[in-house]
Chains A and B, each alone.
Chain A
Amino acid sequence: MVQKNDIFTVNKGLAQMLKGGVIMDVVTADHAKIAEDAGAVAVMALERVPADIRASGGVARMSDPELILKIMDSVSIPVMAKCRIGHFVEAQILESLGVDYIDESEVLTPADEAHHINKHLFKVPFVCGCRNLGEALRRVGEGAAMIRTKGEAGTGDVVEAVRHARAVMGDIRHLTTLPDEEIMAFSKDIGAPYELILETRKLGRMPVVNFAAGGIATPADAALMMQLGVDGVFVGSGIFKSGDPAKRAAAIVKATTHYNDPKILAEVSRDLGEPMVGRQISSIPENDLIASRGW
Protein backbone atom coordinates (compact mmCIF):
# COMPACT_ATOMS: atom_id res chain seq x y z
CA MET A 1 0.00 0.00 0.00
CA VAL A 2 1.46 3.35 -1.05
CA GLN A 3 1.29 5.93 1.73
CA LYS A 4 0.22 9.48 0.89
CA ASN A 5 3.15 10.98 2.81
CA ASP A 6 5.60 8.65 1.03
CA ILE A 7 4.38 10.08 -2.28
CA PHE A 8 5.02 13.61 -1.01
CA THR A 9 8.49 12.56 0.24
CA VAL A 10 9.58 11.24 -3.16
CA ASN A 11 7.93 14.12 -5.06
CA LYS A 12 9.43 16.83 -2.88
CA GLY A 13 12.62 14.74 -2.95
CA LEU A 14 12.88 14.80 -6.76
CA ALA A 15 12.85 18.61 -6.60
CA GLN A 16 15.62 18.41 -3.97
CA MET A 17 17.68 16.40 -6.48
CA LEU A 18 17.21 19.17 -9.08
CA LYS A 19 18.63 21.87 -6.79
CA GLY A 20 21.61 23.84 -8.01
CA GLY A 21 20.55 22.96 -11.53
CA VAL A 22 18.97 24.45 -14.64
CA ILE A 23 15.64 23.30 -16.10
CA MET A 24 15.36 24.24 -19.77
CA ASP A 25 12.35 24.79 -22.04
CA VAL A 26 12.58 22.64 -25.20
CA VAL A 27 10.21 22.34 -28.16
CA THR A 28 11.75 19.37 -30.02
CA ALA A 29 13.62 16.15 -29.23
CA ASP A 30 16.75 17.74 -30.75
CA HIS A 31 16.49 20.67 -28.34
CA ALA A 32 16.09 18.22 -25.49
CA LYS A 33 19.33 16.45 -26.47
CA ILE A 34 21.16 19.79 -26.67
CA ALA A 35 19.84 20.68 -23.21
CA GLU A 36 20.87 17.32 -21.71
CA ASP A 37 24.33 17.54 -23.32
CA ALA A 38 24.74 21.04 -21.89
CA GLY A 39 24.07 19.71 -18.38
CA ALA A 40 20.37 20.54 -17.81
CA VAL A 41 18.92 18.70 -14.78
CA ALA A 42 15.52 18.43 -16.48
CA VAL A 43 13.68 19.71 -19.52
CA MET A 44 10.25 21.31 -19.89
CA ALA A 45 8.53 19.91 -23.00
CA LEU A 46 6.56 22.63 -24.84
CA GLU A 47 5.13 23.35 -28.28
CA ARG A 48 6.20 26.97 -28.16
CA VAL A 49 8.59 28.79 -25.84
CA PRO A 50 6.98 31.65 -23.88
CA ALA A 51 8.44 34.35 -26.18
CA ASP A 52 6.56 32.75 -29.11
CA ILE A 53 3.38 32.29 -27.08
CA ARG A 54 3.58 35.99 -26.24
CA ALA A 55 4.19 36.96 -29.89
CA SER A 56 1.48 34.81 -31.44
CA GLY A 57 -1.29 35.45 -28.91
CA GLY A 58 -4.33 33.17 -28.98
CA VAL A 59 -5.12 30.46 -26.42
CA ALA A 60 -2.07 28.56 -25.16
CA ARG A 61 -2.84 24.97 -24.12
CA MET A 62 -1.11 21.75 -23.02
CA SER A 63 1.32 20.48 -25.70
CA ASP A 64 0.50 17.61 -28.06
CA PRO A 65 1.14 14.30 -26.19
CA GLU A 66 3.01 13.06 -29.29
CA LEU A 67 5.62 15.81 -28.84
CA ILE A 68 5.92 15.18 -25.11
CA LEU A 69 6.42 11.42 -25.63
CA LYS A 70 9.10 12.03 -28.26
CA ILE A 71 10.97 14.27 -25.86
CA MET A 72 10.60 11.69 -23.06
CA ASP A 73 12.13 9.07 -25.37
CA SER A 74 15.06 11.25 -26.35
CA VAL A 75 16.65 12.03 -22.94
CA SER A 76 17.53 10.24 -19.67
CA ILE A 77 16.89 13.28 -17.43
CA PRO A 78 13.45 14.12 -15.97
CA VAL A 79 10.86 15.59 -18.35
CA MET A 80 8.30 18.16 -17.18
CA ALA A 81 5.26 19.42 -19.07
CA LYS A 82 2.82 22.30 -18.57
CA CYS A 83 -0.93 22.26 -18.08
CA ARG A 84 -3.24 25.26 -17.76
CA ILE A 85 -4.10 26.66 -14.32
CA GLY A 86 -7.13 24.74 -13.05
CA HIS A 87 -7.23 22.34 -16.03
CA PHE A 88 -7.20 19.08 -14.09
CA VAL A 89 -7.98 16.99 -17.17
CA GLU A 90 -4.86 18.19 -18.95
CA ALA A 91 -3.05 17.19 -15.75
CA GLN A 92 -4.68 13.73 -15.81
CA ILE A 93 -3.49 13.30 -19.41
CA LEU A 94 0.06 14.39 -18.57
CA GLU A 95 0.13 12.02 -15.60
CA SER A 96 -1.00 9.14 -17.82
CA LEU A 97 1.88 9.91 -20.21
CA GLY A 98 4.27 9.39 -17.29
CA VAL A 99 5.89 12.84 -17.23
CA ASP A 100 8.10 13.36 -14.18
CA TYR A 101 6.67 16.76 -13.10
CA ILE A 102 3.69 18.88 -14.15
CA ASP A 103 3.99 22.67 -14.22
CA GLU A 104 0.55 24.17 -13.56
CA SER A 105 1.61 27.26 -15.42
CA GLU A 106 0.48 30.85 -15.87
CA VAL A 107 2.38 30.81 -19.18
CA LEU A 108 -0.59 28.94 -20.65
CA THR A 109 -4.05 30.50 -20.77
CA PRO A 110 -5.83 29.79 -17.44
CA ALA A 111 -8.77 27.37 -17.59
CA ASP A 112 -10.21 28.45 -14.23
CA GLU A 113 -10.26 32.03 -12.97
CA ALA A 114 -10.78 31.14 -9.31
CA HIS A 115 -9.28 27.72 -8.56
CA HIS A 116 -6.09 25.83 -9.08
CA ILE A 117 -5.90 22.04 -9.47
CA ASN A 118 -6.34 19.91 -6.34
CA LYS A 119 -2.89 18.43 -6.67
CA HIS A 120 -3.38 16.05 -3.72
CA LEU A 121 -5.44 13.85 -6.05
CA PHE A 122 -2.40 13.07 -8.21
CA LYS A 123 0.61 10.82 -7.79
CA VAL A 124 2.73 12.85 -10.22
CA PRO A 125 4.37 15.93 -8.62
CA PHE A 126 3.46 19.53 -9.47
CA VAL A 127 5.47 22.73 -9.61
CA CYS A 128 3.58 26.06 -9.46
CA GLY A 129 4.48 29.72 -9.85
CA CYS A 130 4.34 32.40 -7.14
CA ARG A 131 4.95 36.12 -6.67
CA ASN A 132 5.11 36.10 -2.88
CA LEU A 133 5.04 33.75 0.11
CA GLY A 134 1.23 33.70 0.42
CA GLU A 135 0.78 32.56 -3.17
CA ALA A 136 3.56 29.97 -2.77
CA LEU A 137 2.05 28.44 0.38
CA ARG A 138 -1.47 28.38 -1.11
CA ARG A 139 -0.02 26.23 -3.91
CA VAL A 140 1.80 23.99 -1.41
CA GLY A 141 -1.49 23.72 0.49
CA GLU A 142 -3.10 22.45 -2.72
CA GLY A 143 -0.36 19.81 -2.99
CA ALA A 144 2.49 21.39 -5.02
CA ALA A 145 5.81 19.66 -4.26
CA MET A 146 7.94 22.44 -5.75
CA ILE A 147 7.57 26.20 -6.25
CA ARG A 148 9.10 28.64 -8.71
CA THR A 149 8.89 32.39 -8.67
CA LYS A 150 6.99 33.55 -11.74
CA GLY A 151 9.02 36.41 -13.13
CA GLU A 152 7.61 37.49 -16.47
CA ALA A 153 8.02 34.66 -18.96
CA GLY A 154 9.17 35.22 -22.54
CA THR A 155 10.66 38.67 -21.97
CA GLY A 156 14.35 38.05 -21.26
CA ASP A 157 13.95 40.81 -18.65
CA VAL A 158 14.94 39.54 -15.20
CA VAL A 159 13.36 42.39 -13.23
CA GLU A 160 10.14 40.56 -12.27
CA ALA A 161 12.02 37.39 -11.29
CA VAL A 162 14.07 39.55 -8.94
CA ARG A 163 10.96 41.27 -7.58
CA HIS A 164 9.25 37.94 -6.84
CA ALA A 165 12.34 36.31 -5.29
CA ARG A 166 12.87 39.36 -3.07
CA ALA A 167 9.20 39.33 -2.09
CA VAL A 168 9.31 35.66 -1.07
CA MET A 169 12.60 35.97 0.82
CA GLY A 170 11.43 39.22 2.43
CA ASP A 171 8.17 37.64 3.59
CA ILE A 172 10.13 34.74 5.14
CA ARG A 173 12.59 37.08 6.89
CA HIS A 174 9.66 39.09 8.26
CA LEU A 175 7.86 35.94 9.42
CA THR A 176 10.87 34.67 11.35
CA THR A 177 11.07 37.92 13.37
CA LEU A 178 7.40 38.11 14.42
CA PRO A 179 6.35 37.35 18.00
CA ASP A 180 4.16 34.24 18.30
CA GLU A 181 0.93 36.17 18.88
CA GLU A 182 1.23 37.91 15.48
CA ILE A 183 1.55 34.74 13.38
CA MET A 184 -2.18 34.12 12.89
CA ALA A 185 -2.79 37.68 11.65
CA PHE A 186 0.20 37.38 9.31
CA SER A 187 -1.21 34.12 7.96
CA LYS A 188 -4.56 35.86 7.39
CA ASP A 189 -2.95 38.90 5.75
CA ILE A 190 -0.98 36.93 3.18
CA GLY A 191 -3.73 34.33 2.67
CA ALA A 192 -1.58 31.33 3.49
CA PRO A 193 -2.47 28.15 5.42
CA TYR A 194 -1.55 28.60 9.10
CA GLU A 195 0.18 25.20 9.44
CA LEU A 196 2.46 25.94 6.47
CA ILE A 197 3.24 29.37 7.92
CA LEU A 198 4.35 27.67 11.14
CA GLU A 199 6.49 25.20 9.20
CA THR A 200 8.10 27.96 7.14
CA ARG A 201 8.83 29.96 10.30
CA LYS A 202 10.45 26.94 11.94
CA LEU A 203 12.57 26.08 8.87
CA GLY A 204 13.44 29.69 8.04
CA ARG A 205 12.76 28.84 4.40
CA MET A 206 10.03 27.60 2.08
CA PRO A 207 9.00 24.04 3.03
CA VAL A 208 9.58 22.86 -0.56
CA VAL A 209 12.28 23.61 -3.14
CA ASN A 210 11.98 27.07 -4.73
CA PHE A 211 13.42 27.82 -8.19
CA ALA A 212 13.45 31.12 -10.09
CA ALA A 213 11.81 31.52 -13.50
CA GLY A 214 10.63 34.11 -15.99
CA GLY A 215 13.17 36.34 -17.75
CA ILE A 216 16.50 34.63 -17.07
CA ALA A 217 18.61 35.00 -20.23
CA THR A 218 22.30 35.10 -19.23
CA PRO A 219 24.73 33.28 -16.91
CA ALA A 220 24.82 36.44 -14.79
CA ASP A 221 21.00 36.41 -14.50
CA ALA A 222 21.12 32.81 -13.25
CA ALA A 223 23.85 33.60 -10.70
CA LEU A 224 21.92 36.71 -9.58
CA MET A 225 18.87 34.59 -8.77
CA MET A 226 21.03 32.00 -6.96
CA GLN A 227 22.68 34.73 -4.87
CA LEU A 228 19.21 36.03 -3.99
CA GLY A 229 18.61 32.63 -2.42
CA VAL A 230 16.65 30.46 -4.85
CA ASP A 231 17.49 26.75 -5.17
CA GLY A 232 17.90 26.61 -8.96
CA VAL A 233 16.63 28.20 -12.18
CA PHE A 234 14.24 27.61 -15.06
CA VAL A 235 15.35 29.07 -18.37
CA GLY A 236 12.63 29.32 -20.99
CA SER A 237 13.07 31.39 -24.11
CA GLY A 238 16.54 32.59 -23.03
CA ILE A 239 18.40 29.60 -24.48
CA PHE A 240 16.74 28.58 -27.73
CA LYS A 241 15.95 32.20 -28.72
CA SER A 242 19.67 33.05 -28.52
CA GLY A 243 22.38 32.87 -31.18
CA ASP A 244 24.24 29.80 -29.86
CA PRO A 245 21.88 27.75 -27.66
CA ALA A 246 24.31 24.89 -26.82
CA LYS A 247 27.03 27.25 -25.65
CA ARG A 248 24.68 29.53 -23.72
CA ALA A 249 22.97 26.55 -22.08
CA ALA A 250 26.30 25.09 -20.88
CA ALA A 251 27.37 28.52 -19.61
CA ILE A 252 24.16 28.99 -17.60
CA VAL A 253 24.64 25.51 -16.06
CA LYS A 254 28.17 26.43 -14.94
CA ALA A 255 27.02 29.82 -13.63
CA THR A 256 24.31 28.16 -11.53
CA THR A 257 26.90 25.93 -9.81
CA HIS A 258 29.61 28.58 -9.40
CA TYR A 259 27.18 31.44 -8.69
CA ASN A 260 29.42 32.89 -6.00
CA ASP A 261 32.63 32.94 -8.06
CA PRO A 262 32.85 36.11 -10.22
CA LYS A 263 36.01 34.86 -11.99
CA ILE A 264 34.23 31.75 -13.23
CA LEU A 265 31.14 33.83 -14.08
CA ALA A 266 33.30 36.16 -16.20
CA GLU A 267 34.91 33.18 -17.94
CA VAL A 268 31.61 31.46 -18.82
CA SER A 269 30.01 34.76 -19.94
CA ARG A 270 32.63 35.32 -22.67
CA ASP A 271 31.80 35.07 -26.35
CA LEU A 272 28.33 33.54 -26.03
CA GLY A 273 26.94 35.08 -29.23
CA GLU A 274 23.68 37.01 -29.42
CA PRO A 275 21.38 36.81 -26.38
CA MET A 276 17.62 36.67 -26.96
CA VAL A 277 16.43 40.12 -28.01
CA GLY A 278 14.06 40.43 -25.11
CA ARG A 279 11.35 42.88 -24.29
CA GLN A 280 11.47 45.38 -21.48
CA ILE A 281 8.61 44.54 -19.11
CA SER A 282 7.82 48.20 -18.40
CA SER A 283 6.91 48.58 -22.10
CA ILE A 284 4.28 45.81 -21.96
CA PRO A 285 0.64 46.83 -21.34
CA GLU A 286 -0.63 45.55 -17.99
CA ASN A 287 -3.29 43.39 -19.69
CA ASP A 288 -0.59 41.43 -21.48
CA LEU A 289 1.37 40.50 -18.35
CA ILE A 290 1.40 36.80 -17.52
CA ALA A 291 2.50 36.83 -13.87
CA SER A 292 -0.83 38.20 -12.63
CA ARG A 293 -2.54 34.94 -13.66
CA GLY A 294 -2.99 32.73 -10.58
CA TRP A 295 -5.14 33.19 -7.50
Chain B
Amino acid sequence: MRIGVLALQGAFIEHIHMLSGMGVETVAVRLPAELGGLDGLIIPGGESTTIGKLAVAYGLIDPLRSFGQNKPIWGTCAGAILLAKEIRQHQPLLGLMDIVVARNAFGRQLDSFVTPLDVPALLFSKANNPPFPAVFIRAPIIDSISGDARVLASLPDGRIVAVRQKHLLATSFHPELTNDNRFHQYFSMMVAGKV
Protein backbone atom coordinates (compact mmCIF):
# COMPACT_ATOMS: atom_id res chain seq x y z
CA MET B 1 0.00 0.00 0.00
CA ARG B 2 1.30 3.46 -0.95
CA ILE B 3 -0.26 6.55 0.54
CA GLY B 4 0.62 10.03 -0.70
CA VAL B 5 0.71 13.13 1.47
CA LEU B 6 0.12 16.45 -0.29
CA ALA B 7 3.31 18.38 0.53
CA LEU B 8 2.60 21.87 -0.81
CA GLN B 9 2.65 23.44 2.67
CA GLY B 10 1.80 22.57 6.27
CA ALA B 11 2.22 19.59 8.58
CA PHE B 12 2.92 16.91 5.98
CA ILE B 13 6.02 15.45 7.69
CA GLU B 14 3.92 14.59 10.76
CA HIS B 15 1.54 12.46 8.62
CA ILE B 16 4.48 10.82 6.85
CA HIS B 17 6.08 9.92 10.21
CA MET B 18 2.78 8.53 11.52
CA LEU B 19 2.27 6.33 8.44
CA SER B 20 5.91 5.23 8.28
CA GLY B 21 5.66 4.20 11.92
CA MET B 22 2.84 1.85 10.88
CA GLY B 23 4.97 0.38 8.09
CA VAL B 24 3.02 2.14 5.29
CA GLU B 25 4.97 3.35 2.27
CA THR B 26 4.53 7.11 1.78
CA VAL B 27 5.15 9.62 -1.00
CA ALA B 28 5.31 13.43 -0.70
CA VAL B 29 3.18 14.92 -3.49
CA ARG B 30 3.99 18.38 -4.89
CA LEU B 31 3.23 17.94 -8.61
CA PRO B 32 0.45 16.08 -10.53
CA ALA B 33 2.75 13.32 -11.81
CA GLU B 34 3.47 12.27 -8.22
CA LEU B 35 -0.15 11.09 -7.80
CA GLY B 36 0.56 8.13 -10.08
CA GLY B 37 0.60 4.72 -8.40
CA LEU B 38 -0.90 5.92 -5.12
CA ASP B 39 -3.68 4.00 -3.35
CA GLY B 40 -4.77 6.91 -1.17
CA LEU B 41 -3.90 10.50 -0.28
CA ILE B 42 -3.80 12.69 2.83
CA ILE B 43 -4.26 16.45 2.55
CA PRO B 44 -2.62 17.82 5.71
CA GLY B 45 -3.25 20.80 7.94
CA GLY B 46 -1.65 24.09 6.98
CA GLU B 47 -3.12 27.30 5.61
CA SER B 48 -5.95 26.32 3.25
CA THR B 49 -5.58 29.54 1.23
CA THR B 50 -1.87 28.82 0.63
CA ILE B 51 -2.38 25.15 -0.22
CA GLY B 52 -5.29 26.02 -2.56
CA LYS B 53 -3.31 28.66 -4.43
CA LEU B 54 -0.29 26.38 -4.86
CA ALA B 55 -2.59 23.57 -6.06
CA VAL B 56 -4.03 25.92 -8.69
CA ALA B 57 -0.60 27.24 -9.72
CA TYR B 58 0.80 23.76 -10.31
CA GLY B 59 -2.25 22.28 -12.06
CA LEU B 60 -3.22 19.94 -9.20
CA ILE B 61 -6.92 20.78 -8.83
CA ASP B 62 -8.29 18.59 -11.66
CA PRO B 63 -5.88 15.67 -11.04
CA LEU B 64 -6.85 15.72 -7.34
CA ARG B 65 -10.56 15.80 -8.27
CA SER B 66 -10.22 12.80 -10.56
CA PHE B 67 -8.06 10.96 -7.98
CA GLY B 68 -10.83 11.51 -5.42
CA GLN B 69 -13.53 10.08 -7.71
CA ASN B 70 -12.60 6.56 -6.67
CA LYS B 71 -9.49 6.64 -4.45
CA PRO B 72 -9.54 7.43 -0.72
CA ILE B 73 -8.59 10.95 0.42
CA TRP B 74 -8.40 12.15 4.02
CA GLY B 75 -8.27 15.86 4.76
CA THR B 76 -7.24 17.15 8.21
CA CYS B 77 -8.15 20.76 9.10
CA ALA B 78 -7.06 22.73 6.00
CA GLY B 79 -7.39 19.45 4.09
CA ALA B 80 -11.02 19.13 5.22
CA ILE B 81 -11.66 22.67 3.94
CA LEU B 82 -10.22 21.74 0.52
CA LEU B 83 -12.45 18.65 0.30
CA ALA B 84 -15.63 20.68 0.97
CA LYS B 85 -18.30 21.55 -1.60
CA GLU B 86 -18.84 24.89 0.01
CA ILE B 87 -17.22 27.29 2.48
CA ARG B 88 -18.22 30.83 3.34
CA GLN B 89 -15.50 32.62 1.43
CA HIS B 90 -13.93 32.58 -1.99
CA GLN B 91 -10.91 30.29 -2.31
CA PRO B 92 -9.94 27.25 -4.40
CA LEU B 93 -11.70 24.00 -3.36
CA LEU B 94 -11.83 20.42 -4.61
CA GLY B 95 -15.55 20.16 -3.84
CA LEU B 96 -15.42 16.37 -3.45
CA MET B 97 -17.49 15.98 -0.25
CA ASP B 98 -21.07 17.01 0.46
CA ILE B 99 -20.08 19.12 3.44
CA VAL B 100 -20.31 22.84 4.19
CA VAL B 101 -17.30 23.99 6.21
CA ALA B 102 -16.78 27.18 8.23
CA ARG B 103 -13.15 28.29 8.58
CA ASN B 104 -11.70 29.48 11.91
CA ALA B 105 -15.03 28.53 13.46
CA PHE B 106 -13.82 28.63 17.06
CA GLY B 107 -11.98 31.96 16.72
CA ARG B 108 -8.31 32.87 16.75
CA GLN B 109 -5.29 31.04 18.22
CA LEU B 110 -6.27 31.92 21.82
CA ASP B 111 -9.38 29.76 21.24
CA SER B 112 -7.43 26.67 20.10
CA PHE B 113 -7.82 23.65 22.39
CA VAL B 114 -7.36 19.92 22.99
CA THR B 115 -10.34 17.78 24.00
CA PRO B 116 -11.13 14.06 24.40
CA LEU B 117 -13.47 13.03 21.59
CA ASP B 118 -15.69 9.96 21.36
CA VAL B 119 -15.29 8.34 17.94
CA PRO B 120 -17.34 5.10 17.76
CA ALA B 121 -15.83 4.24 14.33
CA LEU B 122 -12.42 3.67 15.98
CA LEU B 123 -13.74 0.65 17.91
CA PHE B 124 -11.92 -1.66 15.45
CA SER B 125 -8.54 -1.24 17.11
CA LYS B 126 -8.98 -2.27 20.73
CA ALA B 127 -11.55 -4.04 22.86
CA ASN B 128 -12.24 -0.74 24.55
CA ASN B 129 -12.30 2.49 22.59
CA PRO B 130 -10.96 5.34 24.74
CA PRO B 131 -11.70 8.93 23.65
CA PHE B 132 -9.42 10.32 20.95
CA PRO B 133 -7.20 13.30 21.98
CA ALA B 134 -8.46 15.81 19.41
CA VAL B 135 -6.22 18.85 18.77
CA PHE B 136 -8.11 21.85 17.37
CA ILE B 137 -5.94 24.70 16.02
CA ARG B 138 -7.79 27.69 14.56
CA ALA B 139 -9.99 24.86 13.44
CA PRO B 140 -12.89 24.72 11.01
CA ILE B 141 -16.17 22.96 11.77
CA ILE B 142 -18.45 21.08 9.44
CA ASP B 143 -21.58 23.24 9.40
CA SER B 144 -23.80 20.74 7.60
CA ILE B 145 -23.68 17.52 5.62
CA SER B 146 -25.84 16.18 2.80
CA GLY B 147 -26.02 13.27 0.35
CA ASP B 148 -24.40 10.12 1.70
CA ALA B 149 -21.97 11.91 4.02
CA ARG B 150 -22.25 10.67 7.60
CA VAL B 151 -21.01 12.02 10.91
CA LEU B 152 -18.14 10.15 12.63
CA ALA B 153 -17.73 12.53 15.57
CA SER B 154 -19.18 15.68 17.06
CA LEU B 155 -18.39 17.83 20.08
CA PRO B 156 -20.71 17.64 23.11
CA ASP B 157 -22.53 20.75 21.83
CA GLY B 158 -23.37 18.93 18.59
CA ARG B 159 -20.89 20.65 16.27
CA ILE B 160 -19.64 18.19 13.63
CA VAL B 161 -15.86 17.63 13.52
CA ALA B 162 -15.40 14.35 11.60
CA VAL B 163 -17.29 13.10 8.54
CA ARG B 164 -16.99 10.13 6.21
CA GLN B 165 -18.50 9.96 2.74
CA LYS B 166 -17.77 6.58 1.13
CA HIS B 167 -14.00 6.65 0.43
CA LEU B 168 -13.52 10.24 1.65
CA LEU B 169 -12.73 11.37 5.20
CA ALA B 170 -12.64 14.84 6.75
CA THR B 171 -11.52 15.77 10.28
CA SER B 172 -11.34 19.34 11.55
CA PHE B 173 -8.69 18.36 14.14
CA HIS B 174 -5.11 17.00 13.89
CA PRO B 175 -4.52 13.29 14.67
CA GLU B 176 -0.99 13.74 13.23
CA LEU B 177 -0.04 15.91 16.22
CA THR B 178 -0.79 13.17 18.76
CA ASN B 179 0.84 9.86 19.73
CA ASP B 180 -2.41 8.06 18.91
CA ASN B 181 -2.38 6.47 15.45
CA ARG B 182 -5.95 5.10 15.45
CA PHE B 183 -7.18 7.58 12.82
CA HIS B 184 -4.21 6.73 10.60
CA GLN B 185 -5.00 3.04 11.08
CA TYR B 186 -8.63 3.73 10.23
CA PHE B 187 -7.65 5.56 7.02
CA SER B 188 -5.23 2.83 5.97
CA MET B 189 -8.09 0.33 6.46
CA MET B 190 -10.26 2.55 4.25
CA VAL B 191 -7.52 2.45 1.63
CA ALA B 192 -7.36 -1.35 1.96
CA GLY B 193 -11.16 -1.49 1.58
CA LYS B 194 -11.58 -3.06 5.03
CA VAL B 195 -13.83 -0.41 6.62
Contact = CB atoms under 8 A, between A and B. Distances in A.
A124 B110 contact: yes
Contact of B104 (A2, A41, A76, A261): A76
B49 A17 contact: no
Given A76-B103, A95-B110, A254-B57, 12 more contacts: A9-B135, A10-B114, A13-B112, A13-B137, A16-B10, A16-B177, A17-B77, A20-B12, A41-B9, A124-B110, A257-B8, A257-B54
Given A14-B138, A39-B53, A254-B54, A20 B8 contact: yes
A40 B57 CA distance: 14
Interface string A25-45: 000000000001011111000
Interface bin, chain A? 35 or more
Contacts of A9: 114, 135, 177
Interface string B40-67: 0000011101100110010000000000
Contacts of A16: 10-11, 14, 45, 177
B109 A20 contact: no
Interface in B91-125: 103-104, 107-110, 112-114
A124 B10 contact: no
Interface of A: 2-3, 6, 9-11, 13-14, 16-21, 36, 38-42, 72, 76-78, 95, 98-101, 123-125, 250, 253-254, 256-258, 261
Contact of A19 (B11, B49, B109, B177): B11
Given A76-B103, A257-B54, A258-B30, A21 B110 contact: no
Interface bin, chain B? 35 or more
Nearest to A3: B114
Contact of A14 (B13, B112, B113, B114): B112
Nearest to A80: B109
A100 B47 CA distance: 14
For B11, B53, B89, B110, the residue with the greatest tally of chain A CB atoms inside 10 Å of its CB is B110
A19 B10 contact: yes
Contacts of A10: 109, 112-114, 135-137
Given A10-B114, A21-B10, A39 B77 contact: no
Closest 4 CB pairs of A and B: A10-B112, A100-B109, A6-B114, A20-B9
A101 to B, nearest CB: 7
Contact of B109 (A36, A125, A250): A125
A14 B137 contact: yes
B169 interface: no
25 contacts: A2-B113, A3-B114, A6-B113, A9-B114, A10-B113, A10-B114, A11-B109, A13-B112, A13-B174, A17-B46, A17-B138, A18-B47, A19-B10, A20-B12, A20-B46, A36-B49, A40-B50, A41-B9, A41-B47, A95-B110, A124-B109, A125-B109, A256-B9, A257-B54, A258-B30
Contact of A41 (B50, B135, B137): B50
For B12, B50, B136, B174, the residue with the greatest tally of chain A CB atoms inside 10 Å of its CB is B50
Contacts of A257: 7-9, 30, 54
A100 B108 contact: yes
A17 B78 contact: yes
A261 B58 CA distance: 13
A40 B9 CA distance: 11
A100 B54 CA distance: 23
A165 to B, nearest CB: 18
A118 to B, nearest CB: 18
B89 A19 contact: no
Contacts of B77: 17
